[in-house]
Structure 1
Amino acid sequence: MKNKIKKYATIGTIAIMGLLLANTAVEKTVTVISEADTSCIGVYSGGDKTAGYNDESYRVAEKYLSDDEIYAEIQESAYSTSVIETMINDGHLLGYVDQLKAEGWIPQDFTPAGSKSSSTTQTETKAEPPADNQASSSETKEQPKTETKTETKTETKAEPTQEEIDAAWEETERTEATCTEDGKIVYTNSITGDTKEESIPAAGHDYEVTETADATCTEDGTNTYTCKVCGDTYEEAIPATGHTEGEWKVTKEAGLFSTGSKEVTCEKCGEVLDAEEIPQTCPLPLAVVIGVVVAVVVIIGAIVVLVRRRKNI
């Protein structure tokens, strides 16, 4: 009988020690759960599409692409889940959040950075009565049961007003106009991501005369014009002026039996325009005069001979 009592006492002691150890483990678990920051605990559902061949350039997309264009690139696996969440937190794709969740690009429990969340954790501990088979001869601690309740309050950031959107346009790109081609200014809205362009009209050439070749009486001249902005050139003809006829000038005086000459020249270039011969001053040619003189001499000689013959008779 004593052996049985001793045996039961040993069993009871072991059971009590087991309950004490279990109670200690439960208390430590409850303490860890109570002290943990439950606001960082989230269940990941969806968002398993992590391929992103354009992750490194997402800032460029945010600056120059609209939400529609970014969403189209997401459909082509251009961005990973973490980058998509970053772009949403930057204020893009806010109208596509539910659609991206439904397609599995981001987790179902993802909340944009524009929303503020605050969590309050309440811990309630309920004591359970000791088991009926616990020994009455020892002090038994009640085993606590912990229940954690989390309440989440979400404050959604207000949508920007039209005035804020209108004031968010800023110049992001400029191409200056040339003399012949229009330029442009690109504006990007930092809130919506939309872009618009403004044309800069071509300025046109600003020419000045940089070289002149004067025209002559018979050949055209040229004026060379050069644009002061771009260096473009073109030539303009200067018509030939034509000769200006001067007065006749004697170049050789006529003699008694020799002809002279005269000519007219251009007053500007000196070219001989016309020339004429001046007749000799004697109306008879030299040969005729010589013939007449010989004839007279012969006649006079004949007369002299006849006169001498008559005297001799």
Structure 2
Amino acid sequence: MTIRHPEKVNKPINPIKKKPNWIRSKLLNSKEFFITKSVINQNNLVTVCQEANCPNITECWSKRHATFMIMGDTCTRACGFCDVKTGKPDKLDPFEPYKISNAVKKLNLKHVVITSVDRDDLPDGGSQHFFEVIKTTQKNNPNTSIEVLTPDFLRKGEAYKKVLEANPDVFNHNIETVPSLYRKVRPGARYFGSLELLKNSKQINKNVFTKSGLMVGLGETKDEILQVMDDLISADVDFLTIGQYLQPSPKHFPLVRYYHPDEFNELDQQAKAKGFLLVSSSPMTRSSYHADEDFKVLQKNRLRTNASSLS
């Protein structure tokens, strides 16, 4: 006979710390929010905003900005920080490129972010599907800039090159955390593999903006964060985002602490001093947060940098 102890059965694995007052989501326009939701539902699309439980969903959708997640809602990996479900994914939807393209047009997006789950089950990691989504969206929305947030295509050889062949405007791959935490936070990924992907992407297409994101609050040290910045600069990354890790549930990797907004400002200044073309550092910063506005700034900063180098 098994003796159950209710106090142990119901005890959370990693209790969630109370959020400080600077961690707050915003609802700017409820009408626009529901228009965005309706377009997504009508096209039967998946968004990372919903699947990853993004804290900025109300603000972004109120501005008709949504980040589309292609290749299903089920990931083949189980990262300790992520709220996207893990399991055996469904087959790819051959009509998804058209659906994404149609949603972009209906929402009248000038800049769109397209990401995906990890698809280690596919021989190419889904790079051909990325290519088709990008090209179809470009064809039907010629005035829309396209940003992709890709997996690492680990052990898929040069499959990632197919994504770059589609000529997106921004190639984003998140480094996520510092090397010492990878085994616990990103057990299926490799730190230097992600760095190599970013570096190679810039070498293949000098015109594409490269971008990467870092979470803080998982137990990393300040020196480790600065080292990641140096590594990303060495990989020729243009744009760095730094945001607060928010623990999705008691079963996820434990949050160690919340960074104060002043600390994010300090990281912002340190990153800019190291030479990034653009830095976004705040508690609510996420990879696609304000991506449309940031893209315009990236373009202006590149022009300014090129002009300075010629003078």
Q: Report the TM-score range of the alignment, normalised by the length of the smaller protein.
A: under 0.3
Bigger RCO of structures 1 and 2 (CA < 8 A, at least 6 apart): 2
Structure with the higher fraction of residues in strand conformation: 1
Structure with the higher fraction of residues in helix conformation: 2
What TM-score, normalized by structure 2, do the two folds share?
A: 0.17
What TM-score, normalized by structure 1, do the two folds share?
A: 0.17
Higher CA-based Rg: 1
